[in-house]
Amino acid sequence: MGKKKKQKTKKVRVQFRKNRGTRSRQNRISEEQLGSEHISDLASEERVSGKGDLSRYRTIRSVSDDENDLQRAIDDSVCESAKILSTAGLNSLARTESGRDYECTVRQVVRTVSRDNRNAVVTGDRVLIQPINDEQAVVERVEPRYGTLSRQSGGREHLIVANVDQALIVVSANDPPLKPNLIDRFLVSAEKGDVEPIVCINKADLVDPSDLQPIVGMYSQLGYRVLQCSGVEGWGIEALVRTLKGKQTVLTGQSGVGKSTLINRIQPDLNLDTSNISEWSSKGRHTTRRAVMYPLEIGGAVVDTPGIRQLALWDVVKEEVEGLFVEFRPFVPVCRFPDCSHTHEASCGVKQAVVAELISHQRYDSYLKILSDEQFDPEW
């Protein structure tokens, strides 16, 4: 039997999030305090380095050539593959391929490598862990991600979940009121993260079915799947089960729209906490405090996430937004100016399509709000 091929590595300089250099000396011992004849007798134990900011970097060995997705070289013979089920600060719960759960901390160098993100390890991550004992382990490396959902928080990326196939954008027909602009933001975020978006209108029993037809028709014509259901009454649950079966799905949306209730309908033994809408604010209460992954008996898994009221998009530039609205694409080439923003320019193909009702006024309004960055800080 041949020898195992050694993995090629290369040295990479990585910057720490915080300055870990020694604190610079603030006070100077003056000649007035000791006298010039005694200064030369002082022991020089504090080293003065000229490296400056270089002390904020360290060298690691990486098995990846992609500087944006460094993969630290480790001894994988002492590690196990696992998936992150939930995170809380620097701690996380990981489940190995054999079904064993470990409470994990994250190696400092792993946090260093992910310096551009708010969180080094997120729910859904595929990781390599090194067990310490029967219950605890350390995350040694985060494997490359696909299918992500992010938001902006404090000018940095807050990754909500990773490695999912689809995002179930849950809204309520009423209580709290349906917000199409928020749906559109989630659609843009899902398109950006290469996740298939599905619109799920919950609490359909609270309104007349005909009231939902305009919005169902609008998103269906754009090619998005739209589900109508009631977690309380059990309507549409069979279609929801077929949609989730065998897939990695994140449920996202406002607080109080019934994400946890829908999961309980699919798998009652989970018995997730739910709560009613606040009567005075008509807003949902946060019953889910962090993103948690639940494997499903039907196959696949769902990630229940905390509700949000506004979604600040991450890594989406204004020039990119037009391409993330699928119905704009046929009309952009008709615009007179190649850098048309579709807001004020003359001979704009997109605006002409809106006037001709080939593009929904509601969707165009969402586009304008995203361009003008009309959003509040997200609330979790």
Domains of the chain in start order, with CATH, are 76-142 (2.40.50.140), 158-304 (3.40.50.300), 318-371 (1.10.40.50)
Return the C-alpha torsion angle 328, 332, 337, 340, nearest 10.
20
Ordered per-residue pLDDT tens for the chain, 380 residues: 445 455 555 555 555 544 444 444 445 444 444 454 454 454 444 444 444 444 455 554 555 555 555 556 566 778 899 999 999 878 999 999 999 999 999 988 777 765 556 678 999 999 999 999 999 999 998 998 999 998 876 677 788 899 999 999 999 999 888 999 999 999 999 999 999 999 999 999 999 989 999 999 999 999 999 999 998 999 999 999 999 999 999 999 988 899 999 999 999 998 887 654 433 333 444 455 688 999 999 999 999 988 776 677 877 888 889 999 999 999 999 999 999 999 999 999 999 999 999 999 999 999 999 988 744 334 32
- CA 284, distance to chain mean position in Å, is 21
Burial of 338 (0-12, 13-18, 19+ CB in 10 A): exposed
Asked if residue 55 lies in contact with residue 21, where contact means CB atoms within 8 angstroms, the answer is yes
Tokens of 181: 């602009």
Measured distance CA(264)–CA(267) in Å, rounded: 5
**Main-chain dihedrals φ then ψ at residue 88, nearest 5 degrees:** -150, 100
Torsion sign across C-alpha atoms 187, 189, 195, 200: negative
What pTM did the predictor assign? 0.76
In degrees and rounded to multiples of 5, residue 314 shows phi and psi of -115, 135
Give the integer Cα–Cα distance in Å for 294 and 162: 14
Sign of the four-CA dihedral 34, 38, 39, 45: negative
pLDDT for 25 equals 46
d(CA 127, CA 16): 21
The per-residue pLDDT for 282 is 38
Residue 124, C-beta contacts closer than 8 angstroms, at least 6 positions apart: 83, 84, 161, 162, 163, 164, 248, 250, 291, 293, 303
Listed in sequence order, the residues at least 6 apart from 156 whose beta carbon sits closer than 8 Å to its beta carbon are 116, 117, 118
- 86: amino acid identity, one letter: S
Q: What pLDDT is stored for residue 330 in this prediction? A: 96
